[in-house]
Structure 1
Amino acid sequence: MEKFNEIYQRAVARKGGEGMLQTLLSAPLSHAELQDLDDDMWLEEFTRKIFQSGFYWSVINNKWSGFREVFWDFNLAKLLMMSPEMLEQKACDERIVRNFKKVQTIPENAYMIHEVAEQHGSFSQFIAEWPTDDIIGLWAYLKKHGARLGGNTGPYTLRTLGKDTFLLSRDVESYLRAHKIIDGGLQTKKSLLAAQHFFNDLQQQSGYSLTSLSQLVAYGVGDNRVGVQAR
């Protein structure tokens, strides 16, 4: 298994030098910053990622102001009071992408966020306190208790809002398979544990966040464009 320095130096060479590489690395939010996020933000970003799945992201982003209008800026308190009849009406609104099955996830995930907040003070507090050396455990929680938050949907939401997490992008998956870290299905328990152990080991070697380590691995494989950020 490669050591951190080998991965880092390959990324340096491919991205045009250490200075350029450092500008491309992302930093997660601190514990304090995470717990200060409004819980409504989690529902909004879960919904955005659910709709982006299997769709052109640009189309969803271009319509997002319409989503926010239709769903009251993803206000949890209002959405939890929404009747099934009103949900059906909103699912037909031309301002959004009209996919009823995906629209149904909005009240379902609103309820999940509310339930967690009741137990932990806030959903953001719950996310902030989850240990990153078991980030796959948080992925599993979102998949089990949320609606359509399995696969990369939950992890990409976590990354977007600043929770420290690696991502199983195509480039990262390619690296893990090439180095025999995983050899079965990407989302099997065995593969997820192997990926977690790999990134935990890199973190102990380097002190870098899982976010940065995931990016460094990705920068070392696949198509390379100097100075272009990868996930």
Structure 2
Amino acid sequence: MEKFSDIYKRAVERKGSEKMLKLLLAKPLSKKQLSTLSDDDWLEEFTRKVFQSGFYWSVINNKWSGFREVFWDFSVDKLLMMPPDMLEQKATDERIVRNYKKVKTITENAYMIHEIAQEHGSFSQFVANWPADNIIGLWAYLKKHGARLGGNTGPYALRALGKDTFLLSRDVENYLRAHKIIDGGLQTKKSLSAAQAFFNEMQKQSGLSMQELSLIVAYGVGDNRVGISQQ
């Protein structure tokens, strides 16, 4: 396993300078900041990522104001009271991407969020308290209890709203495979555990967040060389 210092040095070289690399990094939210998000915020981001999967993200983003109108700004309380026939009706609305299987996930994930909030005070509190050194456990929870939140969908939603998580992007996956940290299927328990152990070790060496570490690994490999030089 490479040392963090070697990974960091390579990322600095590829981005032109330490200053430029740091400009490309972003920190996750603190537990306190994360816990202020509403349950509706989580449902909206889960829905966005479910619909972005398999579509051009720009198409979904361009229609997002329509999604918000049709689904009452993703109000969990309102959506849980909605009768099934109304959901079918909404699935045909031209303001959204009309994909009934994906539309169904909105109420299914609303129910998951509601159930967790009942037990933990809020869904945000549940997420905020989940330890980053076992973030794959949270991924697995979302996959099991949520709708279409497996693969990269759940992790990307977590990252988007500020939860500290690494991501198994193509560049990160390529790094892990090249250094024999994972082999076989990316989403197997063995591969996920190995990836988590790798990032846990990098965190011990660096003191950085999983998010920053994931970005540094990605910036050190692949086709993302931007040729930025320090001004």
SS of alignment partner, residue 28 of structure 2 = coil
**Could you tell me which residue of structure 2 aligns to residue 55 of structure 1?**
55
**Could you tell me which residue of structure 1 aligns to residue 226 of structure 2?**
225
**Could you tell me which residue of structure 2 aligns to residue 17 of structure 1?**
17
Name structure 1 gaps, 5 residues minimum. Answer: none
SS of alignment partner, residue 164 of structure 1 = coil
In 1, the alpha carbon distance for the partners of 2:192 and 2:198 equals: 10
In the TM superposition, residue 53 of structure 1 has moved relative to its aligned partner by 0.1
Amino acid at match of 1:140: A
**Could you tell me which residue of structure 2 aligns to residue 75 of structure 1?**
75
Q: What are the superposed Cα offsets for residues 83-133 of structure 1, whole Å, 9 maximum, x if unpaired?
A: 000000000000000000000000000000000000000000000000000
In 2, the alpha carbon distance for the partners of 1:120 and 1:38 equals: 13
Q: What are the superposed Cα offsets for residues 40-78 of structure 1, whole Å, 9 maximum, x if unpaired?
A: 000000000000001000000000000000000001110
Runs of 4+ deviating beyond 4 Å: none
Amino acid at match of 1:3: K
In the TM superposition, residue 136 of structure 1 has moved relative to its aligned partner by 0.1
SS of alignment partner, residue 151 of structure 1 = coil
Name structure 2 gaps, 5 residues minimum. Answer: none
In the TM superposition, residue 16 of structure 1 has moved relative to its aligned partner by 1.0
In 1, the alpha carbon distance for the partners of 2:78 and 2:72 equals: 7
In 2, the alpha carbon distance for the partners of 1:165 and 1:8 equals: 18
In 1, the alpha carbon distance for the partners of 2:27 and 2:206 equals: 14
**Could you tell me which residue of structure 2 aligns to residue 129 of structure 1?**
129
In the TM superposition, residue 226 of structure 1 has moved relative to its aligned partner by 3.2
SS of alignment partner, residue 227 of structure 2 = coil
Q: What are the superposed Cα offsets for residues 180-208 of structure 1, whole Å, 9 maximum, x if unpaired?
A: 00011000000000000000000000000
In the TM superposition, residue 151 of structure 1 has moved relative to its aligned partner by 0.1
Q: What are the superposed Cα offsets for residues 24-44 of structure 1, whole Å, 9 maximum, x if unpaired?
A: 001000000000111100000
Q: What are the superposed Cα offsets for residues 125-181 of structure 1, whole Å, 9 maximum, x if unpaired?
A: 000000000000000000000000000000000000000000000000000000000
Question: TM-score, normalization: structure 2?
Answer: 0.98
Size of the alignment, in residue pairs? 227
In 2, the alpha carbon distance for the partners of 1:226 and 1:103 equals: 42
In 2, the alpha carbon distance for the partners of 1:38 and 1:107 equals: 16
**Could you tell me which residue of structure 2 aligns to residue 88 of structure 1?**
88
Question: TM-score, normalization: structure 1?
Answer: 0.98
**Could you tell me which residue of structure 2 aligns to residue 32 of structure 1?**
32
In 2, the alpha carbon distance for the partners of 1:75 and 1:183 equals: 41
SS of alignment partner, residue 6 of structure 1 = helix
In 2, the alpha carbon distance for the partners of 1:140 and 1:121 equals: 21
In 1, the alpha carbon distance for the partners of 2:102 and 2:54 equals: 12
